[in-house]
Amino acid sequence: MRAMTRRPLLLALALLGCSTPAVVIPADDASTSPDVPVAPDVLDAPTSPDVPIAADVLDAPTSLDVPAVLDAPDVLDASTSLDAPDASMSPDVLDAPDVLDAPAVLDAPDVLDAPAMDAPAVPDASTPDRPAMTSECGVVTIPPADPDAWTMALPSIGAPTVRMVTTGSHRDVYLRGPGSVAEIAVRLDWGGTVVFFGQAGVAASNTIDANDTGRELQLAIYDPTRAFQGCAHNASCAGTNPCGNSITFLGWNPVQGGDECNRGARVLRSELVGDRYVVAVRPLQWNPDWSAMDCRRSACGAAGTEVAVTYTLGFRFVHTNVVEVDMEVASEESFSHPPTEQEFPTLYVGNGANGSTDLPLLLASDGTPVTIDQPANDGFTYRNFTSPAGWVTWQHAVRDYGIGLAMDHLGADFQAWAGSGSGAPYFHNVRPRQRFGLSAGGAVRGRALLALGSEVTVRALMTTLASRRAPFGVLDAPAGGTEVLAAADNTVRLAGWALDNAALDSVRVRLDGRDAATLARAVDRPDVCAVYPNYPGCTRVGFEGTVALGIPDGCLHVLTVIARDRDGNETELGRRAVRSR
């Protein structure tokens, strides 16, 4: 028989219109969120009881003392940038305080004014200058191809050091960031899910719950019309649940880590490409019988049920303490999936088991603790909440160490789940609340940031990196790669789109290096927001306009389109060589 599991997701099944007396649904969400996503998988694997967290301990070996950073007037001085253990710990574990110094790249004077600055600085996110181009007849050449919008991101601080580690029967790839401050690890036999994020070389500093194929940091997506077994086969699940609210009767639900039998998803690709480590995964249906017309429960076989969808994740260090995780979901299916709330991603944080540190305190960006007390299924509790600055952090009770999570678009809506350990497994997780669908043959992209440190450290890192995130986008028209001939009235029409984590300030055009026009924005582009959902301004993120070339001299002229946000960050979206009439 199957290894039965307890994912806290039956809430969502009921919210989709199904009723079961055994499931307690909060009244407010039952009426307002008919398709709230289910929470990720939780297996019944035993977990260690919660151990109270002392103010100066990583709740691991006593040699890993962590200073109570909140007691110091200068929180991020040279000794506490990563909330690292003090000098009393073993010298062969963390004996280089100069490596763990807080980089002086953060702009908050009261947070990061420390003179010791050994860690690499966060690079400037401005677009690199391209070679100057002139507009003299016969001199201008066709500009190079525009950069891919997906590559327009925060700059990295360098490539990680990669090593393979065998953990029991598992194969884990560890990526140690420049400066050897932090490292992150993915498990190749669990679909490339993140199983470690902590201090480099310090196993007990792990902030990730690596319990089974349903936890970790990973992706899982849903379809409200194919939500349950018995109706998923013909997409008739709206308002019905033929087999009941049981985890084993889920419908279409590709899970990155694997399935309810604890079989891991297959990794298609795993390699370092430049400064980015890439993992491509073929996810498994959580329920192998998802498409059955009846309510059968088949025994676990040798292999799971793969889905014609590919999850691709890339990992880059954008700071010694921060990893960017870019995510793409690409469909190879012949049918589409309507929008609903998705796990993109869900972060299960350490619970004291499997060598992790327990992080029981969830904080919004304003420092407010989040109480996870809304009753749900199987003894679980949950809470929908808002975090004003678009990031959250799980911390020790004294707020001296933990992990922060933010999406690139800085969405403020989150959902958290927890199990108390009494009547339900002990766990805690959080996810950004993001709603999108997946079209047949289509793709969806997004980015998340993971930050390591105390509440103060996480706040400083997230604030600074968000302020340095430049816009990204595409100049759609006219097409590049060839000479463009101006219209009869010696004008050129330009069109495209631009996104940012903050409101765009302008999209400007330069003619031969001189400001020539500002393009109108707010053009409706639902096609863009289907691929990059939840960014500010969606779906009215397009721009367009006409630029006059001036004197009809018959020469080639260079038009450059630049997007600028309210933080002053600029990105060159494209150049075109246009021949005047």
* Mean pLDDT, rounded, for 205-219: 96
* Mean pLDDT, rounded, for 568-574: 96
Domains delineated in the chain: 10-49+157-467 (2.70.98), 149-153+470-579 (2.60.40.10)
CA distances to 132, 144, 492, 581 from 485, rounded to whole Å, are: 21, 17, 8, 8
High-pLDDT (> 70) share of the chain, %: 76
What is the C-alpha to C-alpha distance for residues 382 and 414, in angstroms, rounded to an integer?
Answer: 11
What is the C-alpha to C-alpha distance for residues 85 and 82, in angstroms, rounded to an integer?
Answer: 9
Q: Tokens standing for 295?
A: 């309510």
* Mean pLDDT, rounded, for 309-325: 98
What is the C-alpha to C-alpha distance for residues 201 and 182, in angstroms, rounded to an integer?
Answer: 8
Are 573 and 477 spatial neighbours (Cβ–Cβ below 8 Å)? no
pLDDT-wise least confident of 107-116, 138-147, 181-190, 359-368: 107-116
Nearest to 571 by CA among 484, 481, 491, 504: 504
Q: Tokens standing for 531?
A: 């691929």
Specify the amino acid at residue 69. V
Band of pLDDT at residue 389, cut at 50, 70 and 90: very high
Residues 176-195: tens digit of each pLDDT: 999 999 999 999 999 999 99
The DSSP code sequence of 25-64 is --HHHHHH-TTPPPP---B----PPP-PPPTTB-SS-TT-
Predicted local confidence at residue 239, as pLDDT = 82
CA distances to 69, 110, 121, 126, 379 from 107, rounded to whole Å, are: 20, 9, 12, 17, 44
* Mean pLDDT, rounded, for 397-401: 98
How is the chain split among helix, strand and coil, in percent rounded to 5? 10, 35, 55
Predicted local confidence at residue 14, as pLDDT = 38
pLDDT-wise least confident of 196-200, 378-382, 384-388: 378-382
- Could you count the other beta carbons within 10 Å of the beta carbon of residue 236? 14
What is the sign, positive or negative, of the torsion defined by CA atoms of 478, 484, 488, 491?
positive
Predicted local confidence at residue 46, as pLDDT = 37
Q: Tokens standing for 345?
A: 């991603």
SS (H, E, C) 283-339: CEECCCCCCCCCCCCCCCCCCCCECCEEEEEEEEEEECCEEEEEEEEEECCCCCEEE
Tell me the average pLDDT of the chain: 82
CA distances to 467, 492, 499, 503, 568 from 564, rounded to whole Å, are: 12, 21, 10, 9, 6
Element (H, E) at 497: strand 491-499
Predicted local confidence at residue 240, as pLDDT = 85
Residues 95-126: tens digit of each pLDDT: 433 433 434 433 433 433 333 334 444 444 44
* Choice between 293 and 502, residue whose per-residue pLDDT is larger: 293
Q: Tokens standing for 19?
A: 């009723």
Q: Is the pLDDT of residue 72 over 60?
A: no
Band of pLDDT at residue 7, cut at 50, 70 and 90: low
pLDDT-wise least confident of 11-20, 210-219, 229-238, 294-303: 11-20
Burial 381-414 (b: 16+ CB within 10 A, else e): bbbbbebeebbbbbbbebbbbbbbbbbbbbbbeb
10 Å CB burial of residue 139 (0-12, 13-18, 19+) is: exposed
Q: Is the pLDDT of residue 238 over 80?
A: yes
Number of H helices, E strands in the chain: 5, 30
Specify the amino acid at residue 164. M
Q: Is the pLDDT of residue 520 over 70?
A: yes
Predicted local confidence at residue 116, as pLDDT = 39
Residues 529-559: tens digit of each pLDDT: 999 999 999 999 999 999 999 888 899 999 9
Predicted local confidence at residue 423, as pLDDT = 83
Predicted local confidence at residue 8, as pLDDT = 53
Are 81 and 103 spatial neighbours (Cβ–Cβ below 8 Å)? yes
Residues 85-95: tens digit of each pLDDT: 343 333 343 34
Band of pLDDT at residue 301, cut at 50, 70 and 90: confident
* Choice between 109 and 233, residue whose per-residue pLDDT is larger: 233
For 530, the 3-state DSSP assignment is helix
Predicted local confidence at residue 280, as pLDDT = 98
* Mean pLDDT, rounded, for 139-168: 93
What is the C-alpha to C-alpha distance for residues 254 and 163, in angstroms, rounded to an integer?
Answer: 29
Cα pseudo-dihedral 359, 284, 381, 224, rounded to 10: 140
